A and B are shown apart, each in its own frame.
Chain A
Amino acid sequence: QKEVEQDPGPLSVPEGAIVSLNCTYSNSAFQYFMWYRQYSRKGPELLMYTYSSGNKEDGRFTAQVDKSSKYISLFIRDSQPSDSATYLCAMSVPGGTSYGKLTFGQGTILTVHP
């Protein structure tokens, strides 16, 4: 079993829809949770990060972490064609020899059509 599992998609939605992207994980030591966005033929770039449990909002994006269920989500409100990309969840543990190493999910390809 992979440490981080991400819904494979692909996901296709109409413009304006609410999008939900999800990951589950098995390593309870993960404390930092991130979402990266990767446009076609580009490297991933950090979209949002959260520490431990809770919600974080940034414009149309909301990241949620539920450590009790080992489940994280990214919600996109009022989705736009420019949101079309691959979304990767990533996680890391604080401190120690693993500090800084990210474990990624498989990525979900999202297409928002006009």
Chain B
Amino acid sequence: DADVTQTPRNRITKTGKRIMLECSQTKGHDRMYWYRQDPGLGLRLIYYSFDVKDINKGEISDGYSVSRQAQAKFSLSLESAIPNQTALYFCATSDLYGGAETQYFGPGTRLLVL
């Protein structure tokens, strides 16, 4: 079984709808992240959480919210989806590796907002 799972893998929704993307991990890591990936823009950080009670905004948090339900679960919500939120969304967890954080990514959720 994959260490970091994301559901759904693909989602089509309409402008104005509220949707939730879910992430679960079995790696036992405290740190979890949500990114979006757009062509030509790389990965941009939306929110991150260093433990269940510590949630922080990333560089592009407007229009998004998150919930850390447990150490293993971190959900991303789009309160009112808009077309420019069409992107590939990744969840990641991290631990220390030789002093550097190594991030482990899920398989991604492909979101299309019409």
Contacts from A to B (Cβ < 8 Å): 4, 6, 8, 32, 34, 41-46, 49, 51, 88, 90, 92, 94, 99-102, 104-107
Q: List A contacts of B94 (CB < 8 A).
A: 100
**Contacting pair A44 B100 (CB below 8 A):** no
**Across-interface contacts of A90 in B (CB, < 8 A):** 43
Min CB–CB distance A41 → chain B (angstroms): 8
Q: Name the A residues within 8 Å of B103 (CB-CB).
A: 44, 46, 102
Say yes or no: B106 contacts A100, CB within 8 Å.
no
Which A-B residue pairs are the 6 nearest by beta carbons? A43-B105, A32-B100, A106-B42, A100-B101, A104-B43, A104-B42
Measured CA separation A104–B43 after assembly (Å): 6
Contact of B105 among A41, A45, A94, A105 (CB under 8 A): A45
Q: Contact mask B72-114 → A, CB, 8 Å, 1/0?
A: 0000000000000000001010100111111111111000000
Given A49-B98, A100-B31, decide whether A44 and B41 contact each other with a Cβ distance below 8 A. no
* B21 CB–A CB distance under 8 Å: no
Do the beta carbons of A101 and B42 come within 8 Å of each other?
no
Contacts of B101 in A (CB 8 A): 32, 92, 99-100, 102
For A88, the chain B residues whose CB sits under 8 A away are 42-43
A92: B residues at CB distance < 8 A: 100-101
Q: Which residues of A contact B58 (CB under 8 A)?
A: 101
Is B45 in contact with chain A by the CB < 8 A criterion?
yes
CB–CB A94/B42 < 8 A: no
Q: Which B residues lie within 8 Å of A100 (CB)? A: 31, 48, 50, 94, 101
Q: Are A51 and B99 in contact (CB under 8 A)?
A: yes
A45 to B42, CA, bound (A): 14
Interface contacts beyond A43-B106, A44-B90: sample of 18 additional A-B pairs, CB < 8 Å, sorted by A? A32-B101, A43-B90, A43-B92, A43-B108, A45-B104, A45-B105, A46-B103, A46-B104, A49-B97, A49-B98, A49-B100, A90-B43, A100-B94, A100-B101, A101-B45, A102-B101, A102-B103, A106-B41
